[in-house]
Amino acid sequence: EAQVTQNPRYLITVTGKKLTVTCSQNMNHEYMSWYRQDPGLGLRQIYYSMNVEVTDKGDVPEGYKVSRKEKRNFPLILESPSPNQTSLYFCASSLVTGKRNTEAFFGQGTRLTVV
Amino acid sequence: AQSVTQPDIHITVSEGASLELRCNYSYGATPYLFWYVQSPGQGLQLLLKYFSGDTLVQGIKGFEAEFKRSQSSFNLRKPSVHWSDAAEYFCAVVPMNTGFQKLVFGTGTRLLVSP
């Protein structure tokens, strides 16, 4: 089954404790991205990756890191989480043909609470 | 400023009644257009998309959307709403000026279905 898998689904952590949210897709998609969803703000892009070893900032990259060492994986790293990073996070992947992004497939989401 | 606007934060519709959710975009060139649905506790699922061609697009679950270039709109419609349609709906675009690479979301419309 084609899918995007995020782990964990729920996470409560303390301020400053490094954490990683994993994302994996089995569709051989080039493009992967991370979004955060906050009430009244919709989904905002944090980082995206056009392919292995190619990453770039989205609209709200501060406080986050990513890496793309393999095509299928795109982990999101919070080196020193703060309460304002409490949010619902989504990973997405899509096929890019002729440099044109097609529909995105989303993971189930990770609800992160930083206390 | 370039943006995607969903003017209605909440909409309540009676079961069996028709539905229209509004979406407007402000980009110089017509972007790719999408509607996604997010059911409670779930990720985002693509309902339909418009790249070019016929301006009336059919999607899954009985939804359709009409692209109107003159109004920069891509409104979502359903002739008869079911209780299971209660969810949050997001309009999204892939703007031409990003090389069709970036997915930009509206702030979402929460649909409530009354008996």
- Report residue A104's pLDDT band, with 50, 70 and 90 as the boundaries: confident
Tell me which of A30 and A89 has the higher pLDDT: A89
Residues 77-106 of B with CB under 8 A from A: 90, 94, 99-106
Comparing C-alpha atoms, which of A110, A114, A115 is closest to residue A35? A110
Q: How confident is the model at residue A72 (pLDDT cuts 50, 70, 90)?
A: very high
| Of the candidates B75, B72, B37, B43, the residue with the CA atom closest to the CA atom of residue B56 | B75
Structure tokens at B82: 């079911």
Does the beta-carbon distance from B103 to A45 stay under 8 Å?
Answer: yes
pLDDT tens digit sequence for B63-86: 999 999 999 999 999 999 999 999
Cα separation of B1 and A115, whole Å? 35
- Residue A83 — φ and ψ, nearest 5°? -55, -30
- Residue of chain B nearest A100, judged by CA positions: B100
In whole angstroms, give the CA distance from residue A7 to residue A21: 6
Candidates B34, B43, B99; nearest CB to A107: B43
Contacts of A41 in chain B (CB under 8 A): 107
Residues of B in contact with A50 (CB under 8 A): 101
The pLDDT tens digits of the residues spanning B37-61 come to 999 878 899 999 998 888 999 999 9
Contact B94 A99 (CB under 8 A): no
Task: Give the tens place of pLDDT for each residue, B82-115.
Answer: 999 999 999 998 877 665 567 889 999 999 999 9
- B105 contacts A43? CB cut-off 8 A: yes
* Cα–Cα nearest to A37, from A114, A110, A98: A110
Asked if A107 is an interface residue toward chain B (Cβ–Cβ < 8 A), one would say yes
